[in-house]
Amino acid sequence: MKQFGGFPARMRFTPIPNVIFSSVLPEIADIRELKVLLHIFELIYPKKGALKYVSLGELLRHAGTVGSLQLSPECLPEELKRILQALVEKQVLLELPVMIQDGEEKLYFLNSEANRTAIAKIRSGEIALTGLQIISSPPLSQSAQDDIFTLYEQNIGIITPLIAEELKEARQHYPEDWIRDAIKEAVSLNRRSWRYIARILETWSSEGKGNGTYRGNLKKDTDPDKYIRGKYGHMVQR
């Protein structure tokens, strides 16, 4: 192992938000996720303009990222995709698929209010990205309607062992059509993470599913006992 030679007298700095230390680090157990996240900060902060992001291709060409991961050229792309997907699922990053001259590319933004607003405007056409074509969210697969695992993988992301356990547990506590509807709702809002889906299910369970829209409240004329009666009444809290 090569030893660190110490900090030089004159150095450049990359700012890291304090929330990384208080809220993000406790959720990261994979050292490779942490390495990639730090390199994303390294790449994003020197950039000019309001829209700051990195692409998958940029990370694959970045010597620091490649050197930190220490993977063979054959394994690097898929492992980097897995790491980025994990950071998206943790809601640390936002992902925006686009088309470039060579095919599909993915852009990654830090998950800030400004970037969430910017991505919504990019998708609506209010903001144009020169040389890039936005890829619309694919329609939910009809063939996957009876399989929440396939539905999740096709529209949210890779099913890790942890996500698989979460889906199995959710299936024990909620009707499967609720889980499917919650996945659809997350896709429609571009909040593609299991945490957001789970939050939708929890809200529906405690406040009522209503018309399937995640609103966090019900109309005043809703029957308060509607979700207490029937097969799934044990899941609803007053």
Res 144: pLDDT: 42
Identify whether residues 82 and 164 lie together within a single domain. Answer: no
- 37 and 101 together in one domain: yes
Contact at 8 Å (CB) between 227 and 196? Answer: no
Q: Would you say the pTM of this structure is higher than 0.75? A: no
**N-term to C-term CA, the chain:** 59
Q: Which of 82, 100, 134 is the last residue of a domain?
A: 134
Residue 143 has a pLDDT of 47
Whether residue 231 is predicted with pLDDT greater than 50 in this model: the reply is no
Our count of domains for the chain comes to: 2
Domain hosting 230: range is 142-235
**Domain termination residue (choose one: 99, 117, 134):** 134
Buried b (16+ CB within 10 A) or exposed e, 152-168: bebbbbeeeeebeebbe
Query: CATH number of the domain that 228 lies in?
Result: 1.10.10
Give the full edge-to-edge strand order of the sheet including 133-134.
54-55, 103-110, 93-100, 133-134
Q: Is residue 106 part of a domain?
A: yes
Q: What is the pLDDT of residues 68-113, one digit of tens each?
A: 999 999 999 999 999 999 999 888 999 988 888 777 889 999 988 8
Other beta carbons less than 10 A from residue 4's beta carbon? 6
Is residue 97 within 8 A of residue 85, CB to CB? The reply is: no
* End position of a domain, from candidates 105, 134, 163: 134
Do the domain assignments include residue 3? no
C-beta separation of 86 from 33 below 8 A: yes
Q: Summarize pLDDT for 14-64 with one digit per residue, the tens.
A: 999 999 999 899 989 999 999 999 999 999 999 988 889 999 999 999 999
pLDDT value, residue 236: 45
